[in-house]
């Protein structure tokens, strides 16, 4: 990397398609007029990182060692800060940031702030997430800090709608059925009083087109893009400046 330029590190591979989509949106969202004005980016995309949800549910090994390896590589290569386009991985990012000694952008806080900012008075926000993200209460804890109420779908809707849609995207077989699943899940959140919804798994936005017509939908991937640009680009596009703490 050329000396003197801020560089974004992408700690990816969780999953590969979500990582590729994040980088595509970062490029499209950057207000650059020519190639040379885009952000320098370093990417570590290791699909072998142990499953984050399995680890949180006590059914698999910790992903922390593999994530720390990637974070250290990115830091040594010159990354100014890291973006991790995986919501569930945020349960481990405090440990990763501390071990690697590198700043990590807070996608969870950014997504909540973006959802709340879409319309005045928005305080009840529904979340569509993996079981791991739910178990770690990532959005609930961040929502408490921001004064927001976070709503999750019931276990049946999680099992019948959200989980299958995420699996379909990861398997590369997402289609109309997955879109209908996410739309049904958003209807269930609207019935419970949600004023907005967050696609809080980076696979979900890829099948959330119809669901966005039910409630205002914030894409956590877009929130992370905006946060990265606010941190590293000369013309910030968002007021949220959060990073994951090393606690």
Sign of the CA dihedral running 140, 143, 149, 150? negative
The torsion angles phi and psi of 118, rounded to 5 degrees, stand at: -75, -30
Q: Please, are residues 200 and 220 in contact by the beta-carbon 8 Å criterion?
A: yes
Q: Report, as residue numbers or ranges, the catalytic residues.
A: 86, 201
């Amino acid at each position: 990397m050329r000396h003197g330029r801020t560089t974004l590190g992408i700690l990816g591979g969780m999953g590969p398609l979500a990582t590729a989509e994040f980088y595509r949106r970062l490029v499209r969202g950057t207000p650059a007029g020519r190639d040379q004005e885009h952000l320098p980016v370093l990417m570590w995309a290791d699909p072998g990182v142990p499953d984050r949800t399995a680890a949180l549910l006590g059914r698999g090994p910790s992903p922390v060692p593999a994530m720390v390896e990637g974070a250290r590589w990115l830091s040594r290569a010159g990354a100014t800060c890291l973006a991790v386009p995986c919501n569930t991985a945020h349960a481990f990012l405090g440990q990763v940031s501390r071990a690697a000694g590198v700043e990590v952008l807070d996608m969870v806080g950014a997504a909540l702030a973006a959802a709340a900012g879409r319309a005045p008075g928005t305080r009840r926000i529904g979340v569509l997430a993996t079981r791991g993200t739910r178990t770690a209460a990532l959005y609930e804890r961040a929502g408490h800090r921001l004064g927001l109420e976070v709503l999750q779908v019931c276990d049946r809707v999680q099992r019948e709608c959200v989980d299958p849609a995420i699996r379909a995207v990861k398997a590369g077989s997402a289609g109309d059925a997955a879109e209908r699943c996410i739309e049904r899940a958003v209807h269930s959140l609207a019935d419970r009083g949600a004023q907005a919804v967050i696609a809080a798994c980076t696979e979900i936005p890829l099948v959330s087109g119809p669901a966005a017509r039910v409630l205002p939908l914030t894409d956590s991937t877009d929130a992370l893009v905006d946060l990265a640009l606010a941190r590293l680009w000369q013309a910030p596009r968002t007021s949220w400046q959060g990073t994951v703490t090393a606690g």
